[in-house]
Amino acid sequence: MSLAHRHVVVTGGTGALGTAVVGALIGLDAICHVPYRSEEEAGRFPYSENRNVALVALGDLSNEAAVEKFYGAIPELWASIHIAGGFAFAPIEKSDKALLMGQIESNLVSAYLCSRAAVAAMRKTGRGGRIVNIAARPALEPRSGASMTAYTASKAGLAGLTQALSEEVVKDGILVNAIAPSIMDTAANRHAMPKADHAAWPKVEEVAATIVFLASPDNAVTRGAIVPVYGNS
């Protein structure tokens, strides 16, 4: 894929999936801009010293001014990948307004603001671009979101954002898509669900491959898609 020397933002890039995405991107010689929340998070990131990675301290992706400043400093942005988000497993009686708003801020507002800033940056170049959001299986299958209704609602909103925005900016050569993973095979998920069939879960490297394709110029026609990445689960 032709991503050499192209500037790509990866929010949530220091997490399990984000690390796999950044690894795949730098393997294609892309230049990755990775915002992070804490020094501890940045310190454990395996690509912090890579010449094609720029780590940037940005505490809150729902802070509009901070997001705009971050994107405004990136030269010739090509793609923006929005992995950062939160998860809450809680039945409705324990999902108060604060929990709901926290999920909306972390999963929907952050991606909205990053998408908005990315579109502005891409329009300046006049060369188009790519935006990839990270929804979730419950966004496509809401009944599977029982006992995590706040999370499901926020991810469903993100899926709606993806489809509406894709229609709005296609005239600028910007293709907007999302993936919808099932539970992924990470150390944290294995620890939380030790008796699950881990072999059926999609691997982060496999999910990353789908993201990178959607973010690349090789994706010339797909837009407004919410792509299931379920593995065998």
- CATH number of the domain to which 37 belongs: 3.40.50.720
Amino acid at 141: E
Q: Is residue 1 part of a domain?
A: no
Domain count, the chain: 1
Torsion of CA 84, 203, 198, 140, to 10 degrees: 60
Residue 33 — pLDDT band, cuts 50, 70, 90?
A: very high
Determine the pLDDT at residue 190: 93
**Distance (Å, whole) CA 139 – CA 145:** 8
Q: Is residue 38 part of a domain?
A: yes
Residue range 94-116: mean pLDDT, rounded:
98
What is the domain extent for residue 119? 7-229
Q: Is residue 99 part of a domain?
A: yes
Q: Is residue 2 part of a domain?
A: no
Q: Is residue 133 part of a domain?
A: yes
Residue range 196-212: mean pLDDT, rounded:
95
Query: Is 146 a residue whose pLDDT tops 90?
Result: yes
Query: Is 1 a residue whose pLDDT tops 90?
Result: no
C-alpha distance from residue 123 to each of 8, 166, 185 (Å): 15, 14, 37
Q: Hunting for tokens 């990136």 — which residue is that?
A: 74
